[in-house]
Amino acid sequence: MSESPVFTASTTPDAPRSDRLDLLRDLAADFRAIGYTAEGVAALLGPAAFTALDRDQLIPALIATDAATDNPLATIVRLWLLAVPQSQDAVDAALPTAGSAGLLALGLVDIQPAASTSNGTLLRARVDLRPYGWDANEDGSGGADLWVASDLAAHQQDGVLRHDHVLGIGQASTTLVQTTVRSHAARALDLGTGCGIQSFHLLHHAEHVTATDISVRALAFTRFNLILNADALGIDPENLEDRVSLRLGSLLEPVAGETFDLVVSNPPFVITPRSAGEEAAGQFTYRDGGLPGDEIVSLLVAGLPAVLAPGGIAQLLGNWEVSADDEWSARPQEWIAEGTDAWFIQRELVSPEIYAETWLQDASQGRERAKYREAYAAYLADFASRQVTGIGFGMVFLRRPATDAPDLRLGRWEEITYPIEQPVGEHLGAAVDRFDWVARSHLGTTHLVVADDVTEERHQRPGAEHPGVILLRQGAGLRRTNLLSTELAGFISACDGDLSVDQIMGALVALLGGGDDFVEQQFRTQLLSDVRNLVLDGFLLPDS
């Protein structure tokens, strides 16, 4: 096992301090006392204003809190979520234990320049510090109320983002949270941790988490967030390394020679034009891996199996380039290491123009017209140089098969652009379990039943004797729709657990056979293949 650069610094320039355990405990207690939780903020703002925050729209929340001048929760919401300077007296009243002095010492606020007004000294946010959490399971376990610090976002400040910007909780990070299979893991890896959101979830089902990043500031924010939420995460703040190891470095370098049961990654996958003589300091580290095209994702997909324990899985998000003459999956299929199970789900495909506009807006690069035009043109020229006509975004599932498991060679390449159930991680895990089951089972002797979430839909012309279209729909998980033949629909209607697959096929052969153009073996082979696919997709399940 190689030596890895372990990050233990509790003070980092321009990042919150994590060395004052007393102040962090006080701050957490103050937050709990005023109800600074996702639920508490939602109740304060109301549904419309609270939902608007997810769209980076602050005005509804500003209006909702304008009249709440004596409400301590409103003071804190305005300070950190809305980035509106607040009087020092109001902050001291809202957080009496930590106090404004504690916030200043931790690097969470600073004094507004020339802030001597009728309201006294004003404090302004240096970071975004917001509540985050998730609901408990039905048995009351597993829920959490946390607070997450990150850099102020583009809509909370003027100018272009700093290049070592530490991203907060965004759509991509929550997508990965919802996609991850939440099974027990002895060792988990959060590759490219950012502010630490993936690690928070991993700590609820992994015994130990290793979190890596190329950014010193990102690791400093993660360390702060872990210790601030130590109680909820089951961490001893004085012995953080017992459950979490923070590593500084690029891609898989910090964990070379180690293996993990689960790897999750929201890597800096944004495809960014490269220029001669560019330096890392000029790149947005939270989204730009510094490599041309989609190489950051291709390197990860190819390299991740090397750090997976037998049976271990990796789940990540990514972009990939698509040319006009190829299927979208052409490039990703080239990245898969031999012997690796792979499942790619493309969720979106956009043009080079839309891609450029999205990421230039993301960093507020549109605020300077001349630079915006130059950067936009660079994106288009970069894509044109590789004949790229579209950029795909989606979810990647990789697995290193266990030595005693069937050789599945799972290889699925699906495009699913419609809404799916969230969180979907449990359904993805169940789908892989079905692959394993099918690989080691004799389907013909199995008794099948229709899954509870499945419905049938029939369409026919008025007056027609038979339906022209029969659809099978899933109401849960990936919510697939399957177009059925009349024979397959008949097979499914008989799947109530009483008869085996072979017995139902035999009955259909007896019913449909006899014609000169009926070839029994061909019929059985095709029907068995269709049934297998319905099992793999979760429409049909083994009768338990």
**Side chain identity at 314, as an amino acid letter?**
A
User: For the residues of 211-246, what is the DSSP string, one character each?
Assistant: EEES-HHHHHHHHHHHHHTHHHHT--GGGGGGTEEE
| Averaged pLDDT for residues 500-514 | 92
Q: Which residues contact 252 (CB under 8 A, 6 or more apart)?
A: 191, 300, 303, 304, 306, 307
pLDDT per residue as tens digits for the range 79-104: 999 999 999 999 999 999 999 999 99
pLDDT per residue as tens digits for the range 298-327: 999 999 999 999 999 999 999 999 999 999
Q: Is 470 exposed, middle or buried (0-12, 13-18, 19+ CB in 10 A)?
A: buried
| Averaged pLDDT for residues 397-423 | 85
| Averaged pLDDT for residues 435-464 | 94
pLDDT category at 1 given cuts 50, 70, 90 is very low
Nearest Cα residue to 344 out of 303, 301, 294:
301
Q: Is 373 exposed, middle or buried (0-12, 13-18, 19+ CB in 10 A)?
A: exposed
DSSP run (H or E) holding 99: helix 99-106
Average pLDDT, the chain: 92
The angle at the Cα of 329, spanning 378 to 526, to the nearest 5 degrees, equals: 160
Q: What is the location of CATH 3.90.930.60 in the chain? A: 441-542
The upper half-sphere exposure of residue 122, i.e. CA atoms within 13 Å in the direction of its Cβ, equals 16
pLDDT reported for residue 5: 75
Percent of the chain with pLDDT over 70: 94
**Measured distance CA(539)–CA(457) in Å, rounded:** 14
pLDDT reported for residue 138: 65
**Measured distance CA(35)–CA(270) in Å, rounded:** 37
CA distances to 161, 177, 200 from 188, in Å: 31, 14, 12
Q: Which CATH number fits domain 441-542: 3.90.550.10, 3.30.70.3450, 3.90.930.60, 3.40.50.720?
A: 3.90.930.60
Report yes or no: 24 and 106 within 8 Å, Cβ to Cβ.
yes
| Averaged pLDDT for residues 32-47 | 96
Q: Which CATH number fits domain 168-266: 3.90.25.10, 3.40.50.150, 3.30.1390.10, 3.30.1490.100?
A: 3.40.50.150
pLDDT reported for residue 140: 62
Task: Return the bridge partners of 454, or none.
Answer: 474
| Averaged pLDDT for residues 519-532 | 94
Q: What is the location of CATH 3.40.50.150 in the chain? A: 168-266
Q: Is 140 exposed, middle or buried (0-12, 13-18, 19+ CB in 10 A)?
A: exposed
Q: Would the pLDDT of 482 be above 50? A: yes
pLDDT reported for residue 251: 93
pLDDT reported for residue 291: 86
Q: Would the pLDDT of 2 be above 80? A: no
Q: Would the pLDDT of 506 be above 50? A: yes
* pTM: predicted TM-score of the whole model, two decimal places: 0.93
pLDDT reported for residue 139: 63
pLDDT per residue as tens digits for the range 225-257: 999 999 999 999 999 999 999 999 999 999 999
pLDDT reported for residue 544: 78
DSSP state of 156: G
